[in-house]
Every structure is written in structure tokens, then in C-alpha cells.
Amino acid sequence: MPAPAPSPVLLGVSLKMYFGHHQTLNWSRRIAALAERHPAVTSGAARLFVLPTFPALVPATGILAPYGVALGAQDIATEDSGPYTGEVGGPVLKEIGCRYAEVGHAERRRLYGEGDTVVAAKTAAALRNGLTPVLCVGERDAADPADAASRTVAEAERLLGGLSGAVVLAYEPQWAIGAPEPASADHIATVCTALRGWLDSHPRHAGSTVIYGGSAGPGLLTRLAGTAEGLFLGRFAHDPANVGAILDEIRSPAPAAVA
Ligand SMILES: O=C(CO)COP(=O)(O)O
């Protein structure tokens, strides 16, 4: 019997608030062109998702979705509708074609005071609306890998307690975000393996994926050798050539041998 096909590598990009509107759409066109022709994407070995700013979601979906690139929001309201000025609710995100909603990013925790209660409520809102939460977890200060793993697993357990459904767990050690270099491959492997073990022992989260973010760029996937199931990219995806270089690291399945 042939070996089962490996799960696709998941590559996500958050554009945060770096780009202007037209810059986002131009970047999206370059990513669409890459997705259209890169064998890692066309073979299904890699799956891509992009989280642009809210106003770009609709036009970026038009550009990227035809090439199989999924879209998502960088935030989601805890409530679905009503008097919540400035918020964007899950039903609207779903209606405009989003597949993902990011929750719990370190910047929202640090700059906007979001704590565990809000992050858990946003995770629930995403799941309730048929969106996959991209739930960011990770220690604030540099710690040794075993300590980071136990703290991060405890965090995931706290935030996902009582919830069911597939999630993307984005391991983002806060000290590695916006840094010159990502965390070491050993550190990432230890924590992502622990998160994977936790997910595997919680079948209510079947179908979940563990990815790494925090100054991730070309070369990291190769160093991780499968210990993370993908990457969550920030600055180093601003140049689409870097996204191409990361896709080059993903082996597409060999074409079937001709008898
Ligand atoms: O926070 C991140 C992705 O959400 C990572 O950002 P950087 O890769 O720019 O550090």
C-alpha cells in the first residue's frame, strides 16, 4: 500500500497594519501569481492563507481565492451583531468569504489589553461562525524550551477549555516577534511537538494544525524538518520572493511514475 500523503504545509501571512490599500492589492496579485504556478501550491503540498487589513478583505478575496489562497481577518468581535461600535463580527467575516480569524496575537494583548477572557471569547466567536481561529499562543519572555512548552500547552488548554472544533494553533513566542531572528529550531520543535501532543489527546480539536510565527522567513521550514506544520509569517513575507523561496523548501509529491 502506498504511504499516506503527508499533510500539506500551512503558510499564513499577517500583513498587520504595514501596507497601504493599493500596496496590499498589488502584493496580493503577486502572491496570486505565485500560487497559480508554484508546484508546492498546485500539487496541494502547501496551503496558503493571508490576513490583510479589514478594508482589503473583499478585494483581496477576489484576487487570491481563485488560486486557492484562503483569506482571514486579523481580529473578530466577541459578539455576533449589535451595538459594538468599530467591531467586525463573525457573521460578516463569514459572509464576505473569510475562512480564518486571528485571535490572541501578542500585539493585541500588549497594546489593547486583551486578556485570556477576551481571547477565549473571540475564539468561541470564530468557531461559532464556522471560521477557523488562528489562535496565537506563546511565552512572553525567553524561557528554556521545556518550560516554554509546558507554559504554552497550559495556555492552549486554558483558552480552548470547553470549546470544540479545528483550530490553527500559532506558536508565537512573544520575544521572537519583530526580532532579527526566529526562536531556535530546537526551541520551536520542543514547543510545537508538545502542542501537537496536546491536540492529539483532545479529539474534539481533530483537524487542527500547529504552525510557528515570530520572525519566520526562508530557511526556517527546512531547519524545522516537519516539527512545525507550517509558518505564520510577518515582515519576511512582504517581499513575495521570500514567499516563493519558502514554497521552494516544500517538496511537492513526485509525479506518478509512468509504467
Ligand atoms: O507576529 C507575527 C505574525 O503574526 C510575526 O511577525 P514577524 O515575522 O514580523 O516577527
Profile the chain (259 residues) by mean pLDDT over runs of 10 residues. Answer: 75 98 98 98 98 98 98 98 98 98 98 97 98 98 95 98 96 97 98 98 97 98 96 98 98 61
- Number of domains forming the structure of the chain: 1
With a 6 A CB cut-off, is 102 part of the ligand 1 pocket? no
> Residue 8 domain-assigned?
no
> Residue 229 domain-assigned?
no
Phi and psi at 44, nearest 5°, equal 85, 5
Return the pLDDT at 259. 47
> Residue 121 domain-assigned?
yes
With a 6 A CB cut-off, is 215 part of the ligand 1 pocket? yes
Query: Which runs of consecutive H residues, i.e. helices, occur in 99-254?
Result: 106-112, 116-128, 145-160, 185-200, 220-224, 240-248
> Residue 13 domain-assigned?
no
Return the pLDDT at 257. 54
Q: Is 176 helix (H, G, I), strand (E, B) or coil?
A: helix
Return the pLDDT at 251. 80
Q: What is the largest CA-CA distance in the chain?
A: 65
With a 6 A CB cut-off, is 74 part of the ligand 1 pocket? no
- 201: CATH: 3.20.20.70
Residue 213 burial (10 A CB sphere; 0-12, 13-18, 19+): buried
d(CA 186, CA 190): 6
Q: How far is the CA of 105 from the centre of ligand 1 (A)?
A: 9
> Residue 57 domain-assigned?
yes
Ligand 1, atom nearest to 232 Cα: 3
The answer to whether residues 135 and 156 touch, using CB atoms and an 8 Å cutoff, is: yes
Q: How far is the CA of 110 from the centre of ligand 1 (A)?
A: 14
With a 6 A CB cut-off, is 18 part of the ligand 1 pocket? no
Return the pLDDT at 6. 72
> Residue 1 domain-assigned?
no
Ligand 1, atom nearest to 179 Cα: 10
The answer to whether residues 227 and 183 touch, using CB atoms and an 8 Å cutoff, is: no
Q: How far is the CA of 49 from the centre of ligand 1 (A)?
A: 14
The boundaries of the domain holding residue 160 are 20-223+234-249
| ipTM summary value | 0.99
> Residue 258 domain-assigned?
no
